[in-house]
Amino acid sequence: MKALSVRPLTAVDAPLFSAMLLAQPADYIQYFRPFDFDVETLRHMLAAARNDVYMGFFVDEALAGFFMLRGWDSGYAIPAYGVTIAQNFAGKGLATLSLDTSKTLCRLRDVKRLMLKVHPDNLTAKRLYEKAGFVQTGIDSHNANLIYHFDF
């Protein structure tokens, strides 16, 4: 029986986090590039987080994926959601669990709107987000990613 735990990622987790991200095949993780994947970048990002949320999914001791709600530390009222699940844990419901957990965290913080961006060719993610109630509201002029919002 495998044990699942969900907990905040800290600077101590940076090497494990980096290794998980760098271990993903390029074609699998091609649409997920919100930051560099090296240990020092991740250590700094995690150590600097005050209101932003970086949560890890652990199956036994393995980091199976993570999700984030960020933007609060930069002064934004609407957080940006992001997720990636390790390929060997894909299709097991962790991305859906991350959305549900993110919505709960937003409700606890009295957030009225949640935002995400997705590459137009990432059909699996688009289906997941639309099924979860996100609505496309625009296109990012910098990279042509689709902008989605969820209103509480």
Q: pLDDT in tens for each of the 152 residues of the chain?
A: 789 999 999 999 999 999 999 999 999 999 999 999 999 999 999 999 999 999 999 999 999 999 999 999 999 999 999 999 999 999 999 999 999 999 999 999 999 999 999 999 999 999 999 999 999 999 999 999 999 999 99
Q: What pTM was estimated for this model as a whole?
A: 0.94
Q: What is the 3-state secondary structure (H, E, C) of 40-81?
A: HHHHHHHHHCCCCEEEEEEECCEEEEEEEEECHHHCCCCCEE
- List the domain boundaries for the chain: 4-151
CA distance 61 to 11: 17
* CATH superfamily of this structure's domain 4-151: Gcn5-related N-acetyltransferase (GNAT) (3.40.630.30)
Do the Cβ atoms of 106 and 114 come closer than 8 Å?
yes
Query: What are 12's two structure tokens?
Result: 């101590």
